[in-house]
Chains A and B, each alone.
Chain A
């Protein structure tokens, strides 16, 4: 048993567990964050995907000791970590609903975490980039093509939002300049 401190969804958390405990079980059992799922225990299915310092990582195969002092984001903290869409959901969560992705839904939190890491690095991914980033995440309900569409939806929406923000800022500046005259 060791005391290990990690930063989870923006808060410092101290846990007292055996250092070889996979991060997955610390999240689920110790911190009661059950949105991160157990699927294979061997890094084969991606249901347990979380972000560690921004990278998508399989928490079932990551000993908690390796995460000491690092920043962990789970599905529960995803929208807060990247800014909210109007509905309070991360843009990908909104996209998943819009494209009616989930069936059983069990793998989808892991899918969304993988997709979020992709969009952070590649805001407008091609089909091949999506396949490459998402191929480690299994779905037995067969939602892959809807996942692909939802990622494109989110990328387009994010780009539109960015354009919108840029346009508004431009207009605000124009307005501001006008007022100063």
Chain B
């Protein structure tokens, strides 16, 4: 699978998931399986009435192992307490299994509903046939089919043998939202009990008989290679059994415990060929962005020709640094190479990519590589890469034994794939009242997919369709993208380019409001007064829905009421991953530094599947975004990443965490993303609050640099 698949996957889902539905009814069904009723790959019901729903996305904290089964169970009219779940590994049955782009719910919504509904209809037919009554006289409810007139009822399990002989309906009727009993309920997460007792098995907890442990020494300079190594000292460490080169740029130390492997690596002597990046530093990367800014960009969105609009002009430039995901569970993967086949236990967002890259690396056909998906201790996009899986497979092949490769925190920080540094040039032409008639936003940044060999059509990074969309119906509006290059490894980090795009745009809108002498909320609402549908790639943005979240956030934050002395607030809104989000941040300034007391967030993400998980995701996204805004910065010096652990790349701790209130717009529209949309508005809302407090405009992240 190409690196583009993440985008293709999202696009397919937005286009009603047609491809996924076709891939969905595969001959894995009941007719070929007498043991259980399995009308599609997502569902199995045994005659003993055990109902298993298969989750074909990866659980990294966002709640898919609860929310996705809820959707299927709703249409199945199942008794939720009966549901058991099973995690799918890499498969050919589910279409693209990539977990990213805040897409699990929005792309599985239709397939999961249809899977449940098809099974429900078949069970109703089976009961009607068995009882010799009209189908229309039978109903499904709480895991049973009932015939009211005769008082007869049967559990689903009792009906599965019969149901398995029936044709699978291709277009079963779907429930109306007013009849939902499971979807929309704040049901407890199914994965919580194991996570509080320590029983939950994350990738790092996988244990196989005879398994070895490995850590790798990687060239500290980006793109450098191994020129030689001396393992004399390593082999003196008790438990170290193997030291060998893995690929061109790493040496693995294998031992019978993690600690022995780490000790072996500590005394390993590798000489590196540092290559062409040994003098690279952050300043040069920023300079290259500034230089590229004068180039002509690709048009991402265009309404009218903003350059031709006359009027008073305001222009500004914003900048954002490289950042690292830093999930709590460091990179790891367990592999067992067995000559003609290989099995992986991977904490991964991309089981199919793991399968395919491992197959290529060790010379097997992809169908000879089995990928088991474990729980993940956070992902945030880092586990959209598959480097850890390839390393584990190569080490296992080298030592002919099962092995778990573990990355240390320093490995995770220094050999990550980073959120791209970017530069943003904004310019607006204003009318007599100070509102923009024309607005241009030039995004200058290296392309993540471009670096991976898939730059996307028309030189527009394939992520920008989800992440740089127009928010306001400004008559003349242009979004341009200048694609640059960098040797710094790039990756998709929570909200991807939307963080930078929103920081720049929503700070700029605040500047315009200040210049016009208008309240920033009223200013935005004025720009959204007219109901407009803004077509942007596969998404249509509705100004009315953006207005709705702004008004909701403002009302809940009591925007029109004065704050206590010394308190200031800022507001921002943004749309990405098809969801609408507005946030109000309230701060005080202490020793010239902002202290965030309260964040009020309002979201319109269509139908809410599970409000408890929604609240978790938005609270978590805001805390993640606040850490990004305040401090997150990866520095390159002499071709090396400087930051190494949680001391110099410091996440938020409890003492800095504000109260976060989450409100959602009641909606029956199809659900849209929730994992990422809360991230982008936070930095501009914070910086706008800082401006309100200090009259100082933050033009480069992080705030505390």
Interface residues of A, Cβ cutoff 8 Å to B: 1, 17-18, 21-22, 25, 28-30, 32-42, 44-45, 47, 74-76, 89, 92-93, 96-97, 100-109, 112, 130-131, 134-148
Cβ contacts under 8 Å, B192 to chain A: 96-97, 100-102, 105
CB-CB contacts below 8 Å: B374-427 with A:
375-380, 406, 408-409
User: Do B257 and A25 touch (CB < 8 A)?
Assistant: yes
Is B623 on the interface with A (CB-CB < 8 A)?
yes
CA distance A38 to B205 in the complex (A): 10
Supply 21 A–B pairs (Cβ within 8 Å), ascending by A.
A21-B259, A25-B259, A30-B257, A34-B204, A41-B408, A45-B328, A97-B192, A102-B189, A105-B191, A105-B194, A106-B327, A107-B377, A109-B195, A136-B653, A140-B378, A141-B616, A142-B622, A142-B652, A143-B619, A144-B657, A147-B654
Mask for B313-327, Cβ within 8 A of A = 1, else 0?
000000000000011
Cβ contacts under 8 Å, B60 to chain A: 104
Looking at the assembled complex, report how far the CB atom of B78 sits from the nearest CB atom of chain A, in whole angstroms: 22
Mask for B238-259, Cβ within 8 A of A = 1, else 0?
1000000000000000000111
Is B294 on the interface with A (CB-CB < 8 A)?
no
CA distance A109 to B617 in the complex (A): 20
Cβ contacts under 8 Å, A142 to chain B: 619-624, 652, 657
User: Do A44 and B196 touch (CB < 8 A)?
Assistant: no
Mask for B432-473, Cβ within 8 A of A = 1, else 0?
000000000000000000000000000000000000000000
User: Do B619 and A138 touch (CB < 8 A)?
Assistant: no
Looking at the assembled complex, report how far the CB atom of B439 sits from the nearest CB atom of chain A, in whole angstroms: 32
User: Do A40 and B616 touch (CB < 8 A)?
Assistant: no
Q: Which of A21, A89, A130, A140 lies in contact with B196, CB distance below 8 A?
A: A89
Is B62 on the interface with A (CB-CB < 8 A)?
yes
CA distance A76 to B193 in the complex (A): 13
Q: Beyond the given A34-B201, A41-B409, A138-B651, please list 4 additional residue pairs across the A-B interface where CB-CB is below 8 A.
A: A89-B193, A106-B329, A109-B195, A146-B619
Cβ contacts under 8 Å, B189 to chain A: 100, 102
Q: Which of A39, A101, A104 lies in contact with B376, CB distance below 8 A?
A: A104
Interface residues of B, Cβ cutoff 8 Å to A: 60-63, 188-189, 191-202, 204-205, 207, 213, 238, 257-260, 263, 326-330, 375-380, 406, 408-409, 612, 616-617, 619-624, 645-647, 651-655, 657, 659-660
CA distance A100 to B617 in the complex (A): 12
Cβ contacts under 8 Å, A131 to chain B: 654-655
CA distance A146 to B619 in the complex (A): 10
Cβ contacts under 8 Å, A104 to chain B: 60-61, 327-329, 375-379
User: Do B646 and A29 touch (CB < 8 A)?
Assistant: no
Q: Which of A1, A39, A74, A108 lies in contact with B330, CB distance below 8 A?
A: A39
Cβ contacts under 8 Å, B204 to chain A: 34, 37-38
Closest Cβ neighbor of A138 among chain B residues: B651
User: Do B659 and A140 touch (CB < 8 A)?
Assistant: no
User: Do A108 and B619 touch (CB < 8 A)?
Assistant: no
Q: Which of A92, A97, A139, A145 lies in contact with B328, CB distance below 8 A?
A: A139
CA distance A44 to B645 in the complex (A): 8
User: Do B620 and A103 touch (CB < 8 A)?
Assistant: yes
Cβ contacts under 8 Å, B238 to chain A: 1, 18
Cβ contacts under 8 Å, B259 to chain A: 17-18, 21-22, 25, 29
Contact A108 B655, CB 8 Å, known A25-B259, A44-B645: no
Closest Cβ neighbor of B197 among chain A residues: A93
Q: Which of B63, B651, B657 lies in contact with A103, CB distance below 8 A?
A: B63
CA distance A17 to B238 in the complex (A): 9
User: Do B377 and A105 touch (CB < 8 A)?
Assistant: yes
Looking at the assembled complex, report how far the CB atom of B344 sits from the nearest CB atom of chain A, in whole angstroms: 19
Looking at the assembled complex, report how far the CB atom of B88 sits from the nearest CB atom of chain A, in whole angstroms: 19
User: Do A109 and B198 touch (CB < 8 A)?
Assistant: yes
User: Do A105 and B205 touch (CB < 8 A)?
Assistant: no
User: Do B330 and A38 touch (CB < 8 A)?
Assistant: yes
CA distance A40 to B406 in the complex (A): 12
Cβ contacts under 8 Å, A96 to chain B: 192, 196
Q: Which of A28, A42, A93, A134 lies in contact with B258, CB distance below 8 A?
A: A28
Cβ contacts under 8 Å, A35 to chain B: 197-199
User: Do B409 and A42 touch (CB < 8 A)?
Assistant: yes
Closest Cβ neighbor of B652 among chain A residues: A142
CA distance A167 to B122 in the complex (A): 56
Closest Cβ neighbor of A130 among chain B residues: B654
User: Do A75 and B213 touch (CB < 8 A)?
Assistant: no
Q: Which of B207, B326, B622, B647 lies in contact with A140, CB distance below 8 A?
A: B326
CA distance A141 to B621 in the complex (A): 7
Cβ contacts under 8 Å, A47 to chain B: 328
Cβ contacts under 8 Å, A33 to chain B: 198
CA distance A181 to B407 in the complex (A): 72
User: Do A29 and B213 touch (CB < 8 A)?
Assistant: yes
Contact A148 B654, CB 8 Å, known A25-B257, A105-B375: yes
Contact A42 B326, CB 8 Å, known A30-B257, A103-B62, A131-B654: no
CA distance A105 to B657 in the complex (A): 18
User: Do A39 and B328 touch (CB < 8 A)?
Assistant: yes
Cβ contacts under 8 Å, A100 to chain B: 188-189, 192, 612, 616
Cβ contacts under 8 Å, B378 to chain A: 104, 106, 140-141
CA distance A42 to B328 in the complex (A): 13
Looking at the assembled complex, report how far the CB atom of B115 sits from the nearest CB atom of chain A, in whole angstroms: 26
Cβ contacts under 8 Å, B376 to chain A: 104
Q: Which of A32, A38, A74, A135 lies in contact with B655, CB distance below 8 A?
A: A135
Cβ contacts under 8 Å, A140 to chain B: 326-328, 378, 380, 624, 651
Cβ contacts under 8 Å, A148 to chain B: 654
Cβ contacts under 8 Å, B326 to chain A: 140
Looking at the assembled complex, report how far the CB atom of A104 sits from the nearest CB atom of chain B, in whole angstroms: 3
CA distance A45 to B529 in the complex (A): 47
User: Do A103 and B198 touch (CB < 8 A)?
Assistant: no
CA distance A29 to B404 in the complex (A): 12
User: Do B328 and A107 touch (CB < 8 A)?
Assistant: yes
CA distance A40 to B329 in the complex (A): 9
User: Do B61 and A103 touch (CB < 8 A)?
Assistant: yes
Closest Cβ neighbor of A36 among chain B residues: B198
Cβ contacts under 8 Å, B645 to chain A: 40-42, 44
Contact A138 B646, CB 8 Å, known A34-B205, A75-B197: yes
User: Do B620 and A143 touch (CB < 8 A)?
Assistant: yes
CA distance A74 to B647 in the complex (A): 25
User: Do B409 and A97 touch (CB < 8 A)?
Assistant: no
Looking at the assembled complex, report how far the CB atom of A90 sits from the nearest CB atom of chain B, in whole angstroms: 8
Closest Cβ neighbor of A102 among chain B residues: B195
Cβ contacts under 8 Å, A41 to chain B: 408-409, 645
Closest Cβ neighbor of B206 among chain A residues: A34
Q: Which of B195, B622, B624 lies in contact with A108, CB distance below 8 A?
A: B195
Cβ contacts under 8 Å, B408 to chain A: 41
CA distance A136 to B650 in the complex (A): 12
Which has the most chain A C-beta neighbours within 10 Å: B196, B200, B238, B260?
B196
Closest Cβ neighbor of B200 among chain A residues: A105
User: Do B205 and A138 touch (CB < 8 A)?
Assistant: no
Cβ contacts under 8 Å, B201 to chain A: 34
Looking at the assembled complex, report how far the CB atom of B648 sits from the nearest CB atom of chain A, in whole angstroms: 10
Top-8 shortest CB links A-B? A35-B198, A142-B623, A106-B377, A105-B195, A104-B61, A103-B61, A75-B198, A142-B620
Q: Which of B61, B207, B379 lies in contact with A105, CB distance below 8 A?
A: B61
User: Do B188 and A135 touch (CB < 8 A)?
Assistant: no
Cβ contacts under 8 Å, B63 to chain A: 103
Looking at the assembled complex, report how far the CB atom of A65 sits from the nearest CB atom of chain B, in whole angstroms: 13
User: Do A145 and B660 touch (CB < 8 A)?
Assistant: yes
Q: Which of B195, B651, B657 lies in contact with A145, CB distance below 8 A?
A: B657
Closest Cβ neighbor of A40 among chain B residues: B409
CA distance A97 to B191 in the complex (A): 10
CA distance A75 to B654 in the complex (A): 21
